[in-house]
Structure 1
Amino acid sequence: MALKKSDLYSSLWRSCDELRGGMDASQYKDYILTLLFVKYVSDKAKADPDSLIDVPKDGSFDAMLAAKGDKEIGERFNTIIGALADANGLRNVIDLADFDDEEKLGKGKEMQDRLSKLVAIFNDLDFRGSRAEGDDLLGDAYEYLMRHFATDSGKSKGQFYTPAEVSRVVAKILQIPRNTPHARTVYDPTCGSGSLLIKVADESKYGLSIYGQEKDNATWALAKMNMILHGYEDHEIAKGDTITSPYFTIGSQLQNFDYAVANPPFSVKSWSNGLENEYGRFEYGRPPIKNGDYAFLLHILKSLKSNGKAAVILPHGVLFRGNAEATIRQRLLRQGFIKGIIGLPANLFYGTGIPACIIVLDKENAVGRTGVFMIDASKGFVKEGPKNRLRSQDIHKIVDVFTRQAEIKRYSRMVPLSEIADPKNDYNLNIPRYIDSSEPEDIQDLAAHLYGGIPDRDLDALGRYWEAFPQLRSQLFKPSRPGYSDLTVDVNEVQQAILDSPEFQKFAVEARDLTAEWFNTHRAALASVDANTQPSDLIATISDDLLARFKPVPLIDEYDVYEHLMTYWHGVMHDDVFLIMNEDWGDASKPRKTINDKDRNLSETPDLVVGSGRSSTKYKMDLIPPALIVARYFSEEQAKLDELTAAAEKASGALEEYLEEHAVEDGLLSEVMDDGKITKILAAARLKEARHDGAAPEEIEALRQLIKLYNDEANAKRAAKEAQVELNLLTLRKYGDLTVPEIKRLVLDDKWHATVVNHVAGVVNSLTLALVGRMQQLGERYAETVRQLNASLAEIEAKVEGHLASIGVHQ
């Protein structure tokens, strides 16, 4: 039974992190990713005899496994990795991490145990079927590890990795056709670990020819390994400083590429140190001596073919800083090279917390370009730990809007060059100059405060609701005087009035039906998931269709619906698909015993427990939760259990109430209290003593009643527990009886479909709550006029004066 991908990754990270000791994450990643590389190429060689990577017997992961527990394990690891490096010309690439370094890995037994546990952890991974297309075990494991290493490395050391979500945006906005031939080139002059390059190359089903340069030696080696891990063995990643010593040159000219991307270090002050040959890069102006942002931008521009396209991540300062940068910006705009600008949220990147932007360069049709398409995407993100992260809906919206050049109020706009060149703007590209993304101010209406009524202006601002529900406004409001209206229902009844509205009920049903139609369209494809399924293609197809279906629906933001599906995919469905692909529908649905593995720091919460105490057996149901089995096959048993549970709760309540009444000081049960508590044993002992001593009949009866309540509670709890045990046994047995059609019905209809329908219903409900909240806010804001408040104040003052007079106090 395979672990779910999410469990595998979290286990992998926790185990690796626990074995890290005091080593910095930026250093530790070199050890972990080297092991990942050796494991991957070893598995790949087993599955594919024609693999481009030659894995000798003494340079394989199996050789590492054989070294477990060896006193000289560190030295043996170095020898094994060296043999693999020699066989493939990878010296100084995969052998940079020293596995025999006592300062980093500990001495003697400490190193022996640490490395033995590490190699055992990686042995759980099986890459023989890996397709390395971004949704497979390798791709996801790599992204998971890199994200965590970058997060833990801090600002000064996390620059080796561009967040995967930002990389996807950059790759998509270049609009690379899916059938682009492999001969087309993509270039990154500051490629880091190479993940951005891979995301762009993957846009073509044939892959693109990859070229990159990286200054840091360890990061350059990481990029080389990353290329091989993702099937780009024919890459060309050079080492060195791109600005002072560009590697890709032809004579005195820079080599030109079809596409270019970059996330260069922000605002480098020493960019020109050692610069001798400018290669014609600064024909539109020389960047300031202490800020290298435009040096990288101009380098990329010069590296593009005449129809080349690029996307560069830079700090917002490049959009508005003056002097030399203003001159460069003006000249680039006049040449028409800048196609678009996308403002991103702050705190996305691991190297800095400042907000950045993506500048899109396009030499094709530059002469005829008359505007710059701008997007302010700064508000679309979710906070995750110490960083912000783009959600699936944020990525899709940015790409959709940019691709279609669609103008959306407070979000995107095609800004004419004439407006940018206007003296009031003077080629300043700061996005807020052209897109006001702030929410409209909520203005208080003085007349409404004086004379009552809700301003029609505020109601008109809710026009999208009235367009969707044409009759609702007249049902909730009636004119009071010109320009003002009153609620026709009490402010506290607004929500129910909306929910009872036929128009709203019809809207909710149509949203549910639309979701059902969408799911039915793709049900056959989902039911056909098998070992050959491409998960990334599957989710792309069904998610894009869901988004398209909700696009024309009024009120509902189709990207909100899309995000709910993608969140469910990443949290549950992807794991389900992974299990089915690896084990088929039948085996994936079978219960398995929970894992409690201290070495991997993995302890699972059971979904079902059979038996009790030490003899109990705990089960995990990864694909089909027990609740789905119970709901479909044992609803009567569950109803009976619910009754028994309610009876047990009622019995406990009666006991608690009786104790609260009588187990108090001077109460009938005060003689039995021990540290404020009364147990059944204490009550029975006191009853025996009371009878013997001839205590008051009231106390004896109270004790009898208390013991009866204790017995009633115990009997009720026992009945509920026995029913639960029986239901658990029935449920467990049912798993063994399930046919494949039944399994598919449970997963497809009861789990996936039902969950997405509920999510869409949640989107509809959130719209209702937003409208209700605004109605209540306006109703309460203008509920009492100033005249009414003054009258109330006068009335209160009169009462106070009367009270004072009655006690002889005169003002």
Structure 2
Amino acid sequence: MNKQQLANKIWESANKMRSNIEANEYKDYILGFIFYKFLSDKEVQFLKENNATDEYIAQISETDPETVAFIQEKLGYFISYDNLFSTWLSLGNDFDVSNVRDALSAFNRKISDKHKKIFEGIFTTLETGLSKLGNSPGSQTKAVNALIHLIKDIPMDNRQDYDVLGFIYEYLISMFAANAGKKAGEFYTPHEVSLLMSEIVAEHLKGKKTIDIYDPTSGSGSLLITIGRSAAKHIEGENKVRYYAQELKKNTYNLTRMNLVMRGILPDNIVTRCGDTLDKKDWPYFEDNDPVGTYSPLYVDAVVSNPPYSQHWETKDMENDVRYKRFGVAPKTKADYAFLLHDLYHLKPEGIMTIVLPHGVLFRGGEEGNIRRNLVEFNHIDAIISLPSNIFFGTGIATIVMVLKQKRANDDVLIIDASKGFVKEGKNNKLRASDIKRIVDTYVSRATVPKFSRAVSREEIRENAYNLNIPRYVDSSNEAEHWDLYALMYGGIPASEVAGLSTFWDAFPSLRSDLFSAGSNGYLSLATDDVRGLISSHADVCRFTDGFTAAFSDFGTCLRAELVDAWASVNTANVEAVLSGDIFSRLSCVPLIDTYAAYQILDDCWQRVAVDLGILQSEGFAAARKVVPNMVLKKKEGKDVEVQDGWLGYVLPFELVQETLLKEDMALLSRKEERLSVISSEVADVLSSLSEEELESEAVNKAKDAFAAAAAAKEAKQIRAEMKRGAVFDADSLEQKLLTVNALLDEEKGLKKQVKADAAHLHELTIQTIEQLSDAEVLDLLERKWILPLTSALSKMPEDVVSDLTSGVKYLSEKYAVTFSETEESIHEAECSLSVLIGELEGAESDMAGLMKLKSLLAGE
């Protein structure tokens, strides 16, 4: 399984296993076990890298102080052989929940002094929560055993596996967040929001050789890690990012530490703290046993945070706190600006911060209004980005990302209204890759884009009394539709509304005059009934299509060279940015094409390519020739049991191999399957032709919706016997219909056997074909899987432009196609017809009196 399939499997099983335990709690248990497995496997890997044999590892225990010290020095912790995750698995039926309790207790005793901050108490949540997994030691053992077997296949033994492990960890956190309701915000920032913030931060930090980043409300640590990964792309070498994290809630603080350690970050680059960010004892931080010698103020290159919204906090004596005294103290009922000012204080002079806040911080008055004024006047606010509603789990409130700096070259504030760019996913809205790129590109260029962004001067903000509510500066609302009164009354298309399609007329200068004819009154009419045909074949449009085709004429070849032929050396971290730059460059001279729509096509395709590249680069080219069991869940004795249902291509899908290399076999099977479909339709036609009396035949089932095959065969046998004795039946008789149905059902029965046998043969043939592929065939199939979907989707973009223009023109034509006078005339004709019909009716005196009154009303009397 690839990492997505493995993550799906673990989530589906874990969600069923948690029973009545809240998702917010259960996540701590499964993620805790994943972390223990990581540490356990890491120790085994470390020992084997130092030439330890399996026999030697099996002897490792706390009674060997030299080995304990050696492992502690290198890893920061020690786990004896008896307590290894792999040992738990090997115990089989002898495994007991007490093994876990003993192991966790021993782990806490054997943490090295140097790494106490990272590991001490990290399993407290798991240790205390074991009792919630069952009412007795036996039920707890059963639940824990199921959990450790669920996660045993997560790979953790080489550098590539940090990505797999991190992906699964992130995926599980996001899925638990989706099921945790309001508590989700305590530990998770949606990955897309993290990416948006990370790209903004990384752009600012380009060129730095080392980076310190800090999240004062770190939650699961995913936001901090995403920022670090984006920033690291622009730094030569490894381990150049130092991570600082602070979290108030102990359970969530443990998630932060686990997440950071499991991403392969060096322990020396992790500094964490469990504490109240808004407390007076904020960093500078010191060790209790040596407050003077360990005193160390914290100033970093970037601060990122998604603090709890509008939280109550203690404001007593805070006016003299160094973080707040320049700007003001946030109200005790809303700590939003307290978090913001805390973040700002910890920035280095050239630093940058991004923070997620509720929309209200932009316009609320009182203390918040004063703080906002000071932030503007001291020139710290760099940008405000409005996000779509319902983008965070557990809350639908409108939120923003605010970008601030200690020092800025400009004094305006960039306002971006990104609230309209998203895709609906379940109950929540989600930023697409193209939405994120559009925002980041706009931020970097500080461009003014109608209905999307504008750089607002400080003077204008002053004039608005420091109210930063986004609609004051950027109006992203849809324009109200206009209706032309003259066109409604007399027909024709207003020239002003045709001009509303100006972007098309700019690109196709002579098309407008060929599409529309001008009337004497200055209004227009369509010059053709075949709007799409005229547009598609027009010289201007053909030049546009040809220009697009020319721009991408060698794109597929370039992709083949960069991705397929050079698969082993592709830098998966940066190549998407390179490819998007290439696409944007090619589209620079092509009008009307939405470059961000093109980017979205690239990203959709790239997500699949990246998974394959990760497999090939970590496991080698031979992985493309692998098939793996197709495991599915089936009910067995009332329980979901995982069983094998055939095989799957590990990298190359069976269907792709069949379409490319096994066309004849696939076509033969397809023809038989199509014939089965036709037979089913023909049998249904015969059934629908039966009369009510004929439906009473024994050959028809009790529900009267299908033929009973056995009964139909019996009836047909009797009919054929009668025909041998000389009986003759009409072509439309029940007897002839039953003969037809019987023949069809017999053919269907035989054909189903053939289809089953042919499908099994094709399946086996596909397995053999994949396992025997030549290198050239593998590369060709990779091109078909990776490149063709992208180039094909991009090639359709000019068609989309033509469709959009066609729809716009047709709408204008249909909008005024029926005039008011024509509508009035139709109504009058209908009234006259109804009046005539009323006059022909007869009935009781009272009914007729009412009808006569209606008739007079229709006549306008």
Say if 2:475 is the partner of 1:432.
no
1:223 aligned residue: 256
In 1: Cα distance, 2:695 partner to 2:241 partner = 87
Aligned equivalent of 1:789, options 793, 818, 823: 823
In 2: Cα distance, 1:273 partner to 1:21 partner = 45
Secondary structure of 1:93's partner? Answer: coil
In 2: Cα distance, 1:301 partner to 1:260 partner = 8
Greater shift after overlay, 451-460 or 594-603?
594-603
1:297 aligned residue: 340
Alignment of 1:71-90 (within 5 A): 73-85=96-108, 86-88=110-112, 89=116, 90=119
Q: What is the Cα deviation at residue 705 of structure 1?
A: 6.0
Say if 2:591 is the partner of 1:559.
no
Aligned equivalent of 1:199, options 226, 231, 249: 226
2:483 aligned residue: 444
Contact 1:130 1:137 in 2 (8 A): no
Unpaired runs of 5+ in structure 2? Answer: 51-73, 286-291, 843-851, 857-861
Describe the shift of the 1:257–1:806 C-alpha distance in structure 2 as closer, same or farther (beyond 3 A): closer
Aligned equivalent of 2:613, options 577, 586, 605: 577
Alignment of 1:123-272 (within 5 A): 123-131=152-160, 136-174=163-201, 175-182=203-210, 184-202=211-229, 203-204=231-232, 205=235, 206=238, 207-230=240-263, 231-234=265-268, 235-249=270-284, 255-272=298-315
Secondary structure of 2:808's partner? Answer: helix
In 2: Cα distance, 1:631 partner to 1:426 partner = 66
Describe the shift of the 1:82–1:468 C-alpha distance in structure 2 as closer, same or farther (beyond 3 A): farther
Describe the shift of the 1:30–1:262 C-alpha distance in structure 2 as closer, same or farther (beyond 3 A): same
| Equivalent residue letter for 2:279 | T
In 1: Cα distance, 2:187 partner to 2:249 partner = 9
Say if 2:136 is the partner of 1:107.
yes
Q: What is the Cα deviation at residue 318 of structure 1?
A: 0.9
2:773 aligned residue: 738
Describe the shift of the 1:664–1:603 C-alpha distance in structure 2 as closer, same or farther (beyond 3 A): farther
Supply the RMSD in Å over aligned alpha carbons. 3.4
Secondary structure of 2:519's partner? Answer: strand
Q: What is the Cα deviation at residue 126 of structure 1?
A: 1.2
| Equivalent residue letter for 2:258 | M
Aligned equivalent of 1:359, options 395, 402, 423: 402
Describe the shift of the 1:10–1:777 C-alpha distance in structure 2 as closer, same or farther (beyond 3 A): same
Aligned equivalent of 2:422, options 356, 381, 397: 381
In 2: Cα distance, 1:435 partner to 1:700 partner = 73
In 2: Cα distance, 1:598 partner to 1:722 partner = 26
1:550 aligned residue: 587
Aligned equivalent of 1:29, options 19, 27, 30: 27
1:418 aligned residue: 459
Aligned equivalent of 2:324, options 273, 277, 281: 281
Describe the shift of the 1:528–1:447 C-alpha distance in structure 2 as closer, same or farther (beyond 3 A): same
Alignment of 1:325-724 (within 5 A): 325-350=368-393, 352-365=395-408, 369-422=410-463, 425-481=464-520, 483-490=522-529, 493-505=530-542, 507-508=544-545, 510-511=547-548, 514-515=551-552, 517-528=554-565, 534-570=571-607, 572-596=608-632, 618-636=646-664, 638-639=666-667, 645-661=673-689, 663-665=690-692, 673=700, 675=702, 676=704, 678=707, 679=709, 680-687=712-719, 690=722, 697-698=729-730, 703-704=735-736, 706-708=738-740, 710-711=742-743, 714-715=746-747, 718=750, 722=754, 724=758
In 1: Cα distance, 2:399 partner to 2:222 partner = 18
| Equivalent residue letter for 2:331 | P
Describe the shift of the 1:352–1:788 C-alpha distance in structure 2 as closer, same or farther (beyond 3 A): closer
Cα deviation digits, residues 67-118 of structure 1 (max 9, x gap): 55336x2222132233334234322123432167323344233212211121
Q: What is the Cα deviation at residue 801 of structure 1?
A: 5.1
Cα deviation digits, residues 740-777 of structure 1 (max 9, x gap): 111111121x2222211332245444433333332222
Select the structure with the greater relative contact order (CA < 8 A; seq sep ≥ 6).
Answer: 1
In 2: Cα distance, 1:514 partner to 1:601 partner = 53
Identity of aligned residues (%): 30
1:611 aligned residue: none
Describe the shift of the 1:803–1:24 C-alpha distance in structure 2 as closer, same or farther (beyond 3 A): closer
1:609 aligned residue: none
Secondary structure of 1:576's partner? Answer: helix
Secondary structure of 1:97's partner? Answer: helix
Q: What is the Cα deviation at residue 525 of structure 1?
A: 2.9
Greater shift after overlay, 792-801 or 768-777?
792-801
In 2: Cα distance, 1:481 partner to 1:601 partner = 75
Describe the shift of the 1:32–1:659 C-alpha distance in structure 2 as closer, same or farther (beyond 3 A): closer
| Equivalent residue letter for 2:812 | L
Greater shift after overlay, 275-284 or 305-314?
275-284
Contact 1:165 1:389 in 2 (8 A): yes
In 1: Cα distance, 2:330 partner to 2:353 partner = 19
In 2: Cα distance, 1:605 partner to 1:519 partner = 38
In 1: Cα distance, 2:317 partner to 2:331 partner = 15
Contact 1:215 1:241 in 2 (8 A): yes
1:777 aligned residue: 811
Secondary structure of 2:730's partner? Answer: helix
In 2: Cα distance, 1:671 partner to 1:80 partner = 71
| Equivalent residue letter for 1:146 | I
In 2: Cα distance, 1:315 partner to 1:400 partner = 24
Describe the shift of the 1:326–1:587 C-alpha distance in structure 2 as closer, same or farther (beyond 3 A): closer
Describe the shift of the 1:671–1:753 C-alpha distance in structure 2 as closer, same or farther (beyond 3 A): same
Contact 2:729 2:735 in 1 (8 A): no
Q: What is the Cα deviation at residue 802 of structure 1?
A: 5.4
In 1: Cα distance, 2:132 partner to 2:38 partner = 28
Q: What is the Cα deviation at residue 257 of structure 1?
A: 2.5
Contact 1:213 1:247 in 2 (8 A): no
Cα deviation digits, residues 528-582 of structure 1 (max 9, x gap): 5667754333334334433443354322211112112222333x33332233234
Cα deviation digits, residues 410-467 of structure 1 (max 9, x gap): 1111111111111xx1111001100000122211111111121111122111112223
Q: What is the Cα deviation at residue 807 of structure 1?
A: 7.5
Alignment of 1:6-25 (within 5 A): 6-25=4-23
| Equivalent residue letter for 2:719 | L
Contact 1:75 1:99 in 2 (8 A): no
1:615 aligned residue: none
Contact 2:694 2:734 in 1 (8 A): no
Describe the shift of the 1:106–1:558 C-alpha distance in structure 2 as closer, same or farther (beyond 3 A): farther
Contact 2:215 2:224 in 1 (8 A): yes
Unpaired runs of 5+ in structure 1? Answer: 607-617
Cα deviation digits, residues 282-334 of structure 1 (max 9, x gap): 22222223221111122222222233221121111111011221111112111
Q: What is the Cα deviation at residue 143 of structure 1?
A: 1.0
| Equivalent residue letter for 2:513 | S
Cα deviation digits, residues 589-639 of structure 1 (max 9, x gap): 443342246799686996xxxxxxxxxxx2323433333333333445555
Q: What is the Cα deviation at residue 473 of structure 1?
A: 2.2
Describe the shift of the 1:712–1:266 C-alpha distance in structure 2 as closer, same or farther (beyond 3 A): closer
In 1: Cα distance, 2:675 partner to 2:462 partner = 77
1:64 aligned residue: 88
| Equivalent residue letter for 1:587 | A
Greater shift after overlay, 457-466 or 44-53?
44-53
In 2: Cα distance, 1:524 partner to 1:602 partner = 44
| Equivalent residue letter for 2:774 | T
| Equivalent residue letter for 1:323 | G
In 2: Cα distance, 1:602 partner to 1:752 partner = 34
| Equivalent residue letter for 1:488 | A
In 2: Cα distance, 1:672 partner to 1:185 partner = 80
